[in-house]
Amino acid sequence: MKRTTILVFDDKECEDIHTALSRACARFDPQILCALDVDAEPVPLSEVGRKRPERLDPATFANAAAVVVDLRMGFHFPPNDEEALLDQQTNYQGLYLIRVAEQLEKKVQGGCVSKLFVNSNYVKGLQANLPTTARAHSIIARALGCGLSVYQKQLPDYSDLCAKMYSLLDLRSRGYSSDTATRETLYLIARRAAAPKIESVKMEPVLILGSSGTGKEGAAEHIHEVGQLFLGNEPGQRLKVVHCGAFSEDRLMARSELFGHVRGAYTGANAPAPGSILEAVG
């Protein structure tokens, strides 16, 4: 089975991003390739900077599951490629890579722009980072409309990027839709569920509704695992699933399953049990 590939284009923090994504997404064993320049073919981290890189193969970009881009990378002027050139004041590397993604979007059925993860420092602070020309605004606006994902670079340990990347890979592995709208919705729910620990605000319960077989349990597992990343944990932490439909009509037994019992509480209770709720709390 072909390994999932993640590309990282960053001229300063490739190693940090590589380390964070490797830890957070270890379950999926992704191949993470890095490049210091958007024209360079991404390679394993151990090979970055050791030799002159080859020119980026569009197929590498198109076949990747996700692409992480620092939009504030240095100026870049592709030689002999007037179509790709922006005006000299706005031609940052990251912006150029988004343009490449838009061009590939027209040629391949891979959703290239929706694979892009870019840092919010640029998108939210456009005036501070780039001259505000109409051309720059136009490119970003089109990319956002096509499903560009924005992560908050200022959060420690790249937790925001890791959560969004894990969400993408997990949804793909479950066979669910991994489009940006679905990912962003589940991501926001997971972030809110973890909010008491990261933002000191009150947590709101999550209720998932749907007919039998629509994937409610899978969605709950996804929200739980993505939320773990915000808490500084690796996915796969405790999740207690209780199938209420399997309860008998005996209320005592149902109460015992949820809240536990002491030894001798009823006939057959030969040992104490903590109950599902206490087990979930840990």
What pLDDT, in 10s, does the model give residues 242-272?
Answer: 777 777 666 767 777 777 777 877 777 778 8
Which residues on adjacent β-strands are paired with residue 149? 117
In this predicted structure, what is the pLDDT of residue 204?
A: 64
> Do 262 and 165 fall within a single domain?
no
Stated pTM of the model: 0.71
Number of independent structural domains in the chain: 3
In this predicted structure, what is the pLDDT of residue 6?
A: 95
Q: Is it the case that residue 131 has pLDDT exceeding 60?
A: no
In this predicted structure, what is the pLDDT of residue 51?
A: 81
Contact partners, residue 218, CB within 8 Å, separation at least 6: 174, 176
- Which position has the higher pLDDT, 100 or 126? 100
Edge to edge, what strands does the sheet with 43-44 contain? Answer: 43-44, 31-35, 5-9, 66-69, 116-119, 149-151
Q: Is it the case that residue 33 has pLDDT exceeding 90?
A: yes
Task: Look over the chain and give the mean of its residue pLDDT values, rounded to a whole number.
Answer: 76
Rg for the chain (alpha carbons), in Å? 23
Q: Are 56 and 41 in contact (CB under 8 A)?
A: yes
CA atoms lying within 13 Å on the CB side of residue 247:
15
Coil, strand or helix at 50: coil
> Which domain covers residue 176, as residue numbers?
158-230
Give the domain CATH number at 103: 3.40.50
In this predicted structure, what is the pLDDT of residue 129?
A: 45
162: in domain: yes
Residue in 96, 82, 84 with CA at minimum distance from that of residue 37 = 96
The winner for highest mean pLDDT among 1-5, 58-62, 223-227, 246-250 is 58-62
41: in domain: yes
* Residue 5 banded pLDDT, cuts 50, 70, 90: very high
